[in-house]
Amino acid sequence: MILTVTLNTALDLTYAVPALVPHSSHRVGDVTERPGGKGLNVARVLSALGHDTVVTGFAGGATGAVLRDLLGALPHGPADALVPVAGNTRRTIAVVDGSTGDTTQLNEPGPHIGSDEWTAFLRTYGELLPGADAVALCGSLPPGIHVGAYADLIRLARAAGVPTLLDTGGEPLRRGIAARPDLVKPNADELAQLTGAREPLRATRDARRRGARSVVTSLGPEGLLAVTPDGIWRAAPPSAVTGNPTGAGDSAVAGLLSALAEGLGWQDRLTRAVALSTATVLAPAAGEFDPAAYEDLLTRVTVEQHAAAA
């Protein structure tokens, strides 16, 4: 079983408009809603790949009830081990401009989590860990959760012998990486904020020196850069693609996590991650991946090892 943790779950709402014009009214052409938050997005991809997946974190109020209903309605979706809270689960609103393809994102902060609710989550997390092959800790922290929360969860997983992947930013990333997760997957902005460096290899190496066993950084359409105990790797799709990049990073995390749980080497991990993220860009629905494109890309992703040891 693969466990994903989303402490700040969300109900994702997407509005499609012909053109987004500030200071004006808009007629929405299409509305979609789905359970969201980075860990839930990762779990949805893992389930589509056929992995036994469980999601935990928090859900509460009317929005949380809708999120859980949508999660339960997913065919072959992840199992729901979300912890109920008194506050209302946040919403994220994406407005897609049909004239440009650009997306404007509005993210609510999430409900305040009380000490009793955090204790209930820790109890659930501790019960799930013994059955997990790997754990992903993803996304922002809701109000009320201390910035060292991910560091605590990494230490608990390590004590249980379960490998961890951390995907967050800011101070939670800084604290979490010091707790020595097996894999960290920051984006370029998160990495620059952590290290102060913009050059990808320098920043990725610096991040690894801060405690992570391995660090994988997105290079956007150019693929992924990994600094690992086995070497420095670059992985790239066979060609540049155009489409909607929403969810591509979460798909890459799902690829890395599934391969980590299966004990695969870095070439296979990076191949899977790049193939999934590229297939997500190509998919007609935001945040999903094109299965046919994924299978095709698995044979065409380029992975190169640039150094024998990192």
Annotated active-site positions, please? 250
Structure tokens, 219:
């290079």
CB atoms within 10 A of CB 197: 15
Residues 42, 37: Cα–Cα separation, whole Å: 9
Cβ-based burial of 70 (10 A; exposed 0-12, middle 13-18, buried ≥19): middle
Report phi then psi at 4, rounded to 5.
-120, 140
Q: CA 125 to CA 225: how far, in whole Å?
A: 31
Residue with tokens 């929403």: 246
